[in-house]
Structure 1
Amino acid sequence: MRPIVCHSRHFKPWDKVEALVSSIRRPEITSQSPALSEELVGKILDGYPDIKTLKKLHSKVIVDRHLHFNPSLSIKLMRAFAACGESRIPRHIFDESPDRNVIFYNVMIRSYMNNHLYEDAFLVFKTMFSHGFLPDNYTYPCVLKACSASHDLWVGLQIHGAVVKVGLDLNLFVGNGLVSMYGKCDRLVEGRRVLDEMPRRDVVSWNSMVAGYAQNARFDDVLEICREMESLRLKLDAGTMASLLPAVTNTSSENVLYIKKMFENLVNKSLVSWNVMIAVYVNNSMPSEAVHLFLHMETCETEPDAVTIASILPACGDLSALLLGRRLHQYVKRKKLLPNLLLENALMDMYAKCGCLQDARGVFDNMKFRDVVSWTSLISAYGRSGQGRDAIELFEKMQDSGLSPDSVAFVSVISACSHAGLLEEGKYYFRLMIGEYKIVPRIEHFSCMVDLLGRAGRVEEAYSFVKEMPIEPNERVWGALLSACRVYSNMDIGLIAADKLFQLVPEQAGYYVLLSNIYAKAERWQDVTTVRSMMKSRGIKKTPGVSNVELNDRVHTFLAGDRSHPQSKKIYEDLDVLVGKMKELGYVPETDSALHDVEEEDKECHLAVHSEKLAIVFALLNSEPGAPIRITKNLRVCGDCHTAVKLISKIAEREIVVRDTYRFHHFKNGICSCADNWHLDRLAKSLSGRSQQSKVYLAAAPQCPYPDAHLDGAIKTGLFDYVWVQFYNNAQCHYAGNADNLLKAWNQWTSSQAKQVFLGLPASEAAAPSGGFISAAVLTSQVLPKIKGSAKYGGVMLWSKYYDNGYSAAIKGSV
C-alpha cells in the first residue's frame, strides 16, 4: 500500500457526504446504460483512484442493488478511501455491511491506524470479541503497529499476552510487531528477548531491533546488531539504514562513515537508501556532502520524491545554494508535490537561509495549511535579517489565527527582538510566555534573554539575570554574556564568564578567542599572549574562517588565506585592485579587527585575505554583471570585512548577501541592512582619527531609554561631541504630566561618556503622536531649572522646524 498522509482535520462532515450520495438519482435502466460489473469496479479500486473518482464510483455502487452489499467490493472501497486519508466513509461502509467478517475488522483497524487514529483502531479491535470474531495473524500485527506509533505499552503488553495464549507469538509478522512495539516503547530488553525467542527471523525482525536501539541513541548496540546480521549473512538494506537514522544525528565522523560504507555496499540502491544517506549528511552538518550526493543521485537517474526534496533543501539553505534550491522548487511545482506541509516548510526555510525573505514569504502566503513550525520559520527569518518589527507583527498574527505559540516560537520572537535591539519587547514576550501561556522557560529562553540584555548594553543586568536563573546556566548562556562583554569591553564580568566556559567546554576554541579579543581591545597584549599560550598547551586551535559561494549548482569553499583554488592567482590579483579602489573611497583597514600584537602592515595583510573577501572576488570573476552574490560564513563577520563588503557592493554595483553565525547582512550600494549597529564604534574611531587634519565633530541622536540599543557601543567610545537625546515618543522616559521619568533618564545620559547632552523635545503636540510634548511654560519653569545645572548640559533640540510655530521663540531666553 502506498504511503498515507493524514488529513483528518479536513474530513467533510458525514451529513455532507450523505447529502452528496442521496442527491444522486437511481439511473434509469436503458440499453445505453452499461451495467457496472463486479470485475470492472474491483479493477478500478485496485488501482487506488483519487478521492474525486472514488466518490463518483462509490455513488454508483450504492444505487446498484447487485453491488451495494458485495463484501469483496465493500472491503476494496474501505481500503481505497483509507488510502486517500478518509476514515469516516470506510467506517460507514463497515457499519452498513450485513456480512462482516474478520477481514472487515482488519481493514477497518488498518484504516484507522494508517490515518493515525490509534484510539479508534483499539476500539474496533475491542468490539471484535463482543461480536464473536477472533483476531487472526493479520489483526495482531496491525494493532501492534498502532501500539508502536502511539507508544502505548499497556495495550501492547495485553496483545503480547493474548498472542502467547493462542500460539501466534511464533508467527513471523506478529513477532516483528512485538519487537517493534517494545523498541518504540523503550523496553529494549523485552524487545531483544522476543527477537532471540523467534523461531524464524527476517531482515525486518533485525531492522526493528536496530530502530529500537537507534531511537535511544545506543549506537554501540546498533553496531552489534548490524554485525550479527552480517554474521548470519543477512544483507543490510535500505530499511536497515532508515532504522539507523535516529542514532546518527550529530554523531561522530566514524559513525557517519559506517553508514556511508553500508550505503556504498548496497547492490541495488533504492530511493529510500538515497534519502537516508542524504538525511545522515544533513543531520550531521555536512551540507556539501549532501548536495554532492544528491547531484550524483540525479546522474544515476533516480527520481527524487517529496522526502528527498525535504531532506536536501536544508543543505541548500546552509550553503546558500539558491540556484539549486530554486531548481528544486520548480521540480516540486512540475511534479505537483504541493500542498505538502513538510515540503513547504523546508522550502520556506531554504529561501530564508539564502536571505530571500520575499521568496520565503511567498511560499508562506501560498500555503493552504500552516502549523506553528511554518510561522516560527518565518519569524526566525525576519529576526536573523534584523527585521524585528516584522517578526513581532507575524507573531501577533499567528496568535490571532488561533494557533498557540510553543516554546520554539518564543525563542524565535525573543531572538528577533534581540537582533533588532527591541529590549522592552523582548522582555514582554518572555513574561507573556510564562504568565499567559504557562510555558516553563528552558535553557534556550534564558540564553536568548541574556543575549537580548547583552546586546542592549545591559551587561550588569544580564549577569544578574544569569545569577538568578532557576536552572544551571550552560555554555550558551555564558557564551552570550561573554560576547556582550567583548562588545562593551566589560573586563570584570568577561573574566567570570570565560572562567565558567573554560570549566564547561574547555575544548571550545571560540571562547578563548573571545577572551583574547577582550584583552586585545584593551591593548593588554601580555594577557592575549597568555590566552594564546593556554590554547596551544591544551592543543586547541582557532576555528578557521570558511566561506561558501554557489556557482552553477556547485558550492565553492574558501578559507582565510586560501590559495588552493584553481583561480587563486587571478582572485588575489583582482583583490589587490579592488582594495586599491576601496582606499580611494576612504577605506582604512581596521587593524584592531586582526587583534594581534603585530605590526600594522602585517595586520593589514592578514585582514585582506579573510575568506569572505576571497569568495566575493571569485563570484565577481565568474558571475554575470549585476547578479546578486550570496556568501555563508562559519564565523561572525569582522568589522573590517563589514566595511570592505559595503565598499565592494558600491564599486562592483552588486547586491551582496552575507550570512554569518549571527545574522544576515544585505549590502547594496555601500549600505548594509544592519545599519552598522555593531560597527558604529569603529566608525566613530575612524572618523575621530581624521581630526588630525581638520576637526571632525561627531553627533548622535539616540532614544531616551538608557542605554540606546543601537548606539550605546559607539557612545561609549567617548568620542561624540554632541548627543541629542529624543525625550518623546518613549513613555518610559518622556514627560507625562510630571518630569520624574524624564529627569531620571536625563541623569543617566549625563553620566555617560558623551561630552555634551541635548534635551530633544517636540516643538508641538503634533510632532510627538505618542506623547512627550512639554508646554513652553512648564519647560522653562519646571524642567530646565533642574537640568541646566549639569556640566554636560548642551541645550535643547527641537523636532522640527515644520512644527515650530513660536515654540522656539518662547523658550529661547531660558535655554
Structure 2
Amino acid sequence: MNKFNSFPNIKTNLSLLLSHHSITITTLTLSNLKQQQTQTSKQRVSEQTCLSLLHSCTTLTSLTQIHSLILKLGLHQNPLVLTKFASTSSNFNSINYASSFIFPYDPNAHNADPPLFYDAFLFNTVIRAYAQTLNSKSLALHFYKTMLCYGVLPNKFTYPFVLKACAGIGGLNLGKSVHGFVVKLGFEDDLHVQNTMIHMYCCCEGEVEFARKVFEGSPKSDSVTWSAMIGGYARSGHSAEAVGLFREMQVEGVCPDEITMVSVLSACTDLGALELGKWLESYVDRMKITKSLELCNALIDMFAKCGDVDKAMKLFRRMSTSTIVSWTSVIDGLAMHGRGLEAVSLFDEMVEQGVAPDDVAFIGVLSACSHSGLVDKGHYYFNSMEKNFGIVPKIEHCGCMVDLLSRAGLVKEAVEFVQNMPIEPNQIIWRSIITACHARGELKLGETISKELIKSEPMHESNYVLLSNIYAKLLRWEKKTKVREMMDMKGMKKIPGSTMIELNNEMYEFVAGDKSHDQYKEIYEMVDEMGREIKRAGYVPTTSQVLLDIDEEDKEDALHRHSEKLAIAFALLNTNPGTPIRIVKNLRVCEDCHSATKFISKVYNREIVVRDRNRFHHFKNGLCSCRDFW
C-alpha cells in the first residue's frame, strides 16, 4: 500500500499549502505590478503635466518654477521633458539657463560615463537654440562637440543647425570638417543639409566656389536650393553671377518663391540694374509670387538705389503695413539722391507716427544732412539720439557728422569734433578728413594726417593713395613718385575705377583705357567727339585730377579715357537720342568727370544719372542735382 495514499490528510494539506502559496505569490506579483503601473502612470501624469506647463509658459519666472517642479518630480533625467524645457528656455533668450541645468559639467573635464538619457533630439534642440541666437554661434558648435564627446550620434537634423553656426562665425575650416562628417554619415544627399552647406560656404569670405560645387552636386529638386545659391552669390558680392543663376533657374523651369526674388532684387540693387529691377517687379505680379513684407522692402530698396526714388516712394505709400526697414530704405534713397529736405521731413513723419527710429535710421537721416549740406539739422539729429531716444551714438554716427562738416568745408571744425569724440576715431573717419583736406585746399593738414595713418596702418593701400593725391595737388612729383614706389615694394595696387551700364538686359563694365569691348574703336571715336563738342561749349579739363608729372595735352588724353566717359560714349552710340543714360561707378566720381558730364548732358540733350560710391548725381541741361556738392 502506498504510504503516501495512507496519509490522505497530509496529501490534502499539501495541496492546500501549495495552493495557498500560489495564491500568495500571485497576489504579491499582481501587487508589485500594480505598484509599478501606478508609479509609471504617475510618472506619465507628471511628465504630461510638466510638458503642458512648459507649453503654456509665458514668463521666465514661471519657467524657474517649472524647473523646481521637474526636480521635485524626479524628471531631471526625462529626455522629453528636458528637450521641451530647452525649447521653452530659448523662447525667452535663456538657453544658457537651460543648458547649465541639462549639462551640468564639461565632458572634457570629467571621466564620467555620459548620462543614458542624452539623445540626438535633446542636443539638436540646444544646438538650434544657440545657432539662432545672436552672438551665440560658437556655443552651438561647443555643444555639437559635446554631443560627439558623449558618443551621441548626430542625425540629419543636427547638421543644418551646426552649419548655420559655422556660417555665423565664418568658420571655414570648421565648416569643412563638418562637411566631412556629413559625407561620412551619409547625409550629403539630404536637401536641407545641402542648402545650409551652400549658405555656409557663401558666408565664408572668398569661398563661394565651394558653395557652387555643392550646388552642382545637388539634385536641385526645388526653389530652396536655387535660392540658397543665388542668395549666397548676392551676399558675397557676386551679383552678376546671382542674376545669371536666376536666369538658369528660369530655363530649368523652377518657379522662384519670394525668398528667391528678395535675393535677386538685392543683386539687382548692387548692380544698379534699374531695367532688370522693373522687369522683376512685373515678374512678381505675373507669377503671383506672394508679396511678403520683406519682398516689398526689397523692391523699395531696389528702386531707391537704382535711381528711381520716386517709384520707391510710391511703393512705400501703398504699403498697408510698414516697418522701420521700409522707412529707412526710402530715407536712405532720398539721401543718396541729394534730396535732404525730403529725407528729414520723412524721418520726422516716421517719428510722429510712433515708429521709433533705430541706429540705422539715424545713419540715414545724418547722411541726408551730409549730402545736402544741412549742418544745423545734422547737429540737431545727432544731439537728439541719446537725449530723445536713448540711442548712444556709434562710430558710424560720428563718421556721418565728420563727413557732414567736411563736405560743408568746415574741415577744422571736423577735426575738432574728432578730437572731442567720446569714441576712439577709426581710420575711416581720418580718411574722410583727408579727402576733405584735398578738396578744400587744406593740403598741409591732409599730408600730416596721411603720414600718421600710414604709421598706424602700414599695409592699407588707401592711406598711400590719399598721400599721393595730396602730393600731386601740391605738384610735388618726386614725393608722389616715392609714395607710389613704396606701394609697389609692398605689393599694393590702387583699386581701379570701373563703370557699369545696363543695356538691352545686359550689363557692361568699363575700366580706364578699356579696349576689351567689341566696339572699342567706335567708343574711342565717340569719346574724342565728346571732348571736342564739350570744349566748344566751354568745358575746361581739370588736369590736376591726373596724378602724373606729364604735359597738359597728355593729361587731357588720360582724362578722356576714364571709365565713366567710356560708358557714356557707349550709351550715346547704342541708345536713341533723348533717352536717359544710367551708369554705376565703383568709386567716387572725380572732379573732371563730374564737370565733363554736366557739359555732355547739355550738348547731347541727355539726362545722365550716375551712381558713385557715395550718392546719385542727376545731370540735366548742364547742371547736377548735387549742386557741385559731393
Please state which band the TM-score falls in when normalised by the shorter chain: 0.7 to 0.9
Give the Cα separation in 2 of the matches to 1:348 and 1:421: 25
| 2:283 maps to amino acid | Y
Give the Cα separation in 2 of the matches to 1:486 and 1:426: 23
Q: Which residue of 1 aligns with 2:320?
A: 368
Whether 1:528 aligns to 2:480 is yes
| 1:423 maps to amino acid | V
Give the Cα separation in 2 of the matches to 1:269 and 1:560: 44
CA-to-aligned-CA distance 1:654-699 (integer Å, 9 cap, x gap) = 2211000121001122221111235xxxxxxxxxxxxxxxxxxxxx
Q: What secondary structure is seen at the aligned counterpart in 1 of 2:583?
A: strand
Contact kept, 8 Å, 1:141 with 1:177, in 2: the verdict is yes
Q: Which residue of 2 aligns with 1:737?
A: none
Which residue of 381, 388, 393 maps to 1:429? 381
Could you say if the C-alpha distance between residues 438 and 195 of structure 1 is closer, same or farther in structure 2, counting changes exceeding 3 Å? same
Aligned runs of 1:368-517 on 2, under 5 Å? 368-517=320-469
Give the Cα separation in 1 of the matches to 2:281 and 2:51: 40
Contact kept, 8 Å, 2:126 with 2:143, in 1: the verdict is no
Which residue of 125, 129, 142 maps to 1:181? 129
Q: Which residue of 1 aligns with 2:494?
A: 542
Give the Cα separation in 2 of the matches to 1:439 and 1:400: 18
| C-alpha displacement of 1:256 | 2.0
Give the Cα separation in 1 of the matches to 2:247 and 2:260: 12
| 2:344 maps to amino acid | I
Which residue of 136, 142, 146 maps to 1:193? 146
CA-to-aligned-CA distance 1:419-439 (integer Å, 9 cap, x gap) = 111111111111111222222
- Where is the helix percentage greater, Structure 1 or Structure 2? 2
| C-alpha displacement of 1:127 | 12
| 2:125 maps to amino acid | G
Q: Which residue of 1 aligns with 2:32?
A: none
Whether 1:669 aligns to 2:621 is yes
Q: Which residue of 1 aligns with 2:107?
A: none
Give the Cα separation in 1 of the matches to 2:243 and 2:95: 40
Contact kept, 8 Å, 1:250 with 1:285, in 2: the verdict is no
Q: What secondary structure is seen at the aligned counterpart in 1 of 2:118?
A: helix
| 1:322 maps to amino acid | L
Q: Which residue of 2 aligns with 1:160?
A: 102
Aligned runs of 1:728-743 on 2, under 5 Å? none
Could you say if the C-alpha distance between residues 364 and 121 of structure 1 is closer, same or farther in structure 2, counting changes exceeding 3 Å? farther
Could you say if the C-alpha distance between residues 422 and 371 of structure 1 is closer, same or farther in structure 2, counting changes exceeding 3 Å? same
| 2:574 maps to amino acid | N
State TM-score, norm by structure 2.
0.82
| 1:252 maps to amino acid | E
CA-to-aligned-CA distance 1:152-196 (integer Å, 9 cap, x gap) = 22453277369x9996533x4334223323545442323321244
Which residue of 589, 596, 618 maps to 1:644? 596
Could you say if the C-alpha distance between residues 418 and 326 of structure 1 is closer, same or farther in structure 2, counting changes exceeding 3 Å? same
| C-alpha displacement of 1:543 | 0.9
| C-alpha displacement of 1:650 | 2.4
Structure 2 unpaired stretches of 5+: 1-44, 105-112
Greater mean deviation of Cα atoms: 189-198 or 665-674: 189-198
Could you say if the C-alpha distance between residues 148 and 307 of structure 1 is closer, same or farther in structure 2, counting changes exceeding 3 Å? farther
Q: What secondary structure is seen at the aligned counterpart in 1 of 2:549?
A: coil
CA-to-aligned-CA distance 1:619-668 (integer Å, 9 cap, x gap) = 22233333322111011111221122222222332221100012100112
Give the Cα separation in 2 of the matches to 1:478 and 1:248: 34
Which residue of 178, 181, 192 maps to 1:239? 192
Structure 1 unpaired stretches of 5+: 1-99, 679-815
Contact kept, 8 Å, 2:403 with 2:433, in 1: the verdict is yes
CA-to-aligned-CA distance 1:53-109 (integer Å, 9 cap, x gap) = xxxxxxxxxxxxxxxxxxxxxxxxxxxxxxxxxxxxxxxxxxxxxxx9999998998
Contact kept, 8 Å, 1:282 with 1:314, in 2: the verdict is yes
Contact kept, 8 Å, 2:297 with 2:329, in 1: the verdict is yes
Which residue of 182, 185, 208 maps to 1:229? 182
| 1:366 maps to amino acid | R
User: How many correspondences in the alignment?
Assistant: 571
Contact kept, 8 Å, 2:239 with 2:267, in 1: the verdict is yes
| C-alpha displacement of 1:584 | 2.2
Greater mean deviation of Cα atoms: 176-185 or 322-331: 176-185
Give the Cα separation in 2 of the matches to 1:243 and 1:553: 31
Whether 1:518 aligns to 2:470 is yes
| 2:527 maps to amino acid | L
Contact kept, 8 Å, 1:384 with 1:416, in 2: the verdict is yes
State TM-score, norm by structure 1.
0.64
Could you say if the C-alpha distance between residues 180 and 397 of structure 1 is closer, same or farther in structure 2, counting changes exceeding 3 Å? same
Q: Which residue of 1 aligns with 2:273?
A: 321
Give the Cα separation in 2 of the matches to 1:535 and 1:295: 41
Q: What secondary structure is seen at the aligned counterpart in 1 of 2:247?
A: helix
Whether 1:213 aligns to 2:213 is no
Contact kept, 8 Å, 1:144 with 1:159, in 2: the verdict is no
Q: Provide the identity percentage.
A: 39
Give the Cα separation in 1 of the matches to 2:621 and 2:172: 52
Contact kept, 8 Å, 2:202 with 2:211, in 1: the verdict is no
Q: What secondary structure is seen at the aligned counterpart in 2 of 1:235?
A: coil
Contact kept, 8 Å, 1:229 with 1:236, in 2: the verdict is no
| 1:676 maps to amino acid | D
Could you say if the C-alpha distance between residues 544 and 154 of structure 1 is closer, same or farther in structure 2, counting changes exceeding 3 Å? closer
Q: Which residue of 2 aligns with 1:631?
A: 583
Give the Cα separation in 2 of the matches to 1:104 and 1:603: 84
| 1:176 maps to amino acid | N
Q: Which residue of 2 aligns with 1:260?
A: 212
Whether 1:603 aligns to 2:552 is no
| C-alpha displacement of 1:217 | 3.1
Could you say if the C-alpha distance between residues 216 and 510 of structure 1 is closer, same or farther in structure 2, counting changes exceeding 3 Å? closer
Calculate the aligned-residue CA RMSD, in Å: 3.3
